[in-house]
């Protein structure tokens, strides 16, 4: 499978299909507020709430749209909360396609504690999707992504969805010859097989949970990532390391990318912003190492935004100019 990429930095001509399609199987209505102190039992008086459409793929789509990409967000949604997510995407002018489901879309709640600047995040499991609703998601994906450069599937799987569902997504992408970028966790990550994922992006925590080891040092982290590649989970892996930057690992090499220093802020959506930046860079025709630097800049820019708001293109472009060149961790260097 060869990525379909063009050397452009703007959205496509109106009327042409999206260059990037995101799939969010467990979207959320994100609610963010603040209070002086979080404590048990007592009533905590909160400030005004901010509402945003959320879930991994939707977050990726919002950032990709802010970066000027031609993008479409595909997601199942139900109930009043699903209506709210859809309405907010429409109001923002973000192209989307909703698959209607019976059960209501989940809500996620974030509370910022003013006294300590700590953040508390409460995430609900999500709706139960019927077998026909799951099949509808795959059918719609095959339809809307047939001419796209990339599909990005990101986020948790809702209850009752088989842990090998992302393998079914990968098979759809293989059939339509569209490269898949996957940001999965938990069982969705552990059950990957077949090597049809172009790029897999776990966090270091998710990688530890997947292989069942502490991964204390860089060498162990690279070895664990390569283990998943050799297992057939993906062709390339980006492991996000938070303040330590990121690792790019292939079957033949590895590189470490330093983080970009920014003032501390909300960490909500930083990983999704990284995926959006990488995908936008690849869609511009950039090589994977350059695209990863753009992703690191996008993740850093997300730390500068309030709550679950999307980062800005100006911040990402400015931070991209400050990103450092990667450090080669292998004598041969990675083959990209």
- Residues 71 and 95: beta-carbon distance below 8 Å: yes
In a domain, 304, yes or no: yes
Q: Give pLDDT tens digits along the chain (336 positions).
A: 555 443 333 333 344 679 999 999 999 999 999 999 999 999 999 999 999 999 999 999 999 999 999 999 999 999 999 999 999 999 999 999 999 999 999 999 999 999 998 989 999 999 999 999 999 999 999 999 999 999 999 999 999 899 999 999 999 999 999 999 999 877 777 778 877 899 999 999 999 998 999 998 999 999 999 999 998 889 999 999 988 899 999 988 999 999 998 876 666 678 999 999 999 999 999 999 999 999 999 999 988 876 667 788 999 999 999 999 999 997 544 444
Phi, psi of 145 (to 5 degrees): -105, 5
H or E element that contains 176: helix 165-176
Map residue 178 onto helix, strand or coil. coil
Which tokens go with 48? 């005004």
Can you give the pLDDT at residue 1?
Answer: 56
Map residue 78 onto helix, strand or coil. coil
272 belongs to the catalytic site: yes
In a domain, 64, yes or no: yes
Which tokens go with 308? 């679950």
Phi, psi of 25 (to 5 degrees): -80, -20
Residue pointed to by tokens 């860079």? 281
Structural domain for 201, as ranges: 20-26+56-99+132-328
Can you give the pLDDT at residue 168?
Answer: 95
Q: Indicate which CATH number applies to the domain containing 185.
A: 3.40.1190.20
Residues β-bridged to residue 71: 20
In a domain, 80, yes or no: yes
Which residues fall within 8 angstroms of residue 197, CB to CB, at 6 or more apart?
A: 170, 180, 181, 182, 233, 234, 235
The Cα–Cα gap between 13 and 94 comes to 15
In a domain, 255, yes or no: yes
Q: pTM for this structure? A: 0.89
In a domain, 275, yes or no: yes
- The count of other CB atoms within 10 Å of the CB of residue 304 is 16
The Cα–Cα gap between 273 and 143 comes to 25
In a domain, 45, yes or no: no
Query: 52, 272, 321, 328: which one is catalytic?
Result: 272
Among residues 264, 262, 272, the alpha carbon closest in space to that of 318 is found at 262
Count: domains in the chain? 1
In a domain, 105, yes or no: no
In a domain, 1, yes or no: no
Map residue 169 onto helix, strand or coil. helix
């Amino acid at each position: 499978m060869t990525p379909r990429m063009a050397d452009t930095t703007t959205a496509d001509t109106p009327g042409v299909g999206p260059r990037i399609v995101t799939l969010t199987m467990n979207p959320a209505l994100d609610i963010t507020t603040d209070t002086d102190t979080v404590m048990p039992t007592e009533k905590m008086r909160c400030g005004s709430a901010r509402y945003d459409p959320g879930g991994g793929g939707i977050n990726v789509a919002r950032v990709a749209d802010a970066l000027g990409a031609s993008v479409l967000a595909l997601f199942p949604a139900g109930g009043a909360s699903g209506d709210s997510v859809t309405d907010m995407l429409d109001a923002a002018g973000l192209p989307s396609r909703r698959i209607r489901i019976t059960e209501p879309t989940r809500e996620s709640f974030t509370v910022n504690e003013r006294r300590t600047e700590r953040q508390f995040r409460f995430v609900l499991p999500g709706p139960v999707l019927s077998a026909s609703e799951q099949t509808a998601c795959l059918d719609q994906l095959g339809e809307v992504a047939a001419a796209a450069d990339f599909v990005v599937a990101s986020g948790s799987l809702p209850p009752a969805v088989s842990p090998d569902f992302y393998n079914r997504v990968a098979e759809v992408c293989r059939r339509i010859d569209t490269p898949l970028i996957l940001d999965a966790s938990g069982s969705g990550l552990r059950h990957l097989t077949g090597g049809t994922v172009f790029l897999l992006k776990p966090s270091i925590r998710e990688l530890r949970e997947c292989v069942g080891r502490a991964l204390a040092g860089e060498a162990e982290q690279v070895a664990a990532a390569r283990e998943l590649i050799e297992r057939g989970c993906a062709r390339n892996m980006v492991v996000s390391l938070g303040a330590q930057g990121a690792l790019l690992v292939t079957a033949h090499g590895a590189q470490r990318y330093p983080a970009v220093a920014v003032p501390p802020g909300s960490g909500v959506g930083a990983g999704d912003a990284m995926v959006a930046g990488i995908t936008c860079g690849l869609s511009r025709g950039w090589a994977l190492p350059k695209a990863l630097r753009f992703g690191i800049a996008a993740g850093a820019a997300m730390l500068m935004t309030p709550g679950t708001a999307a980062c800005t293109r100006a911040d990402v472009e400015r931070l991209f100019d400050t990103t450092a060149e990667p450090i080669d961790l292998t004598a041969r260097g990675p083959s990209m």
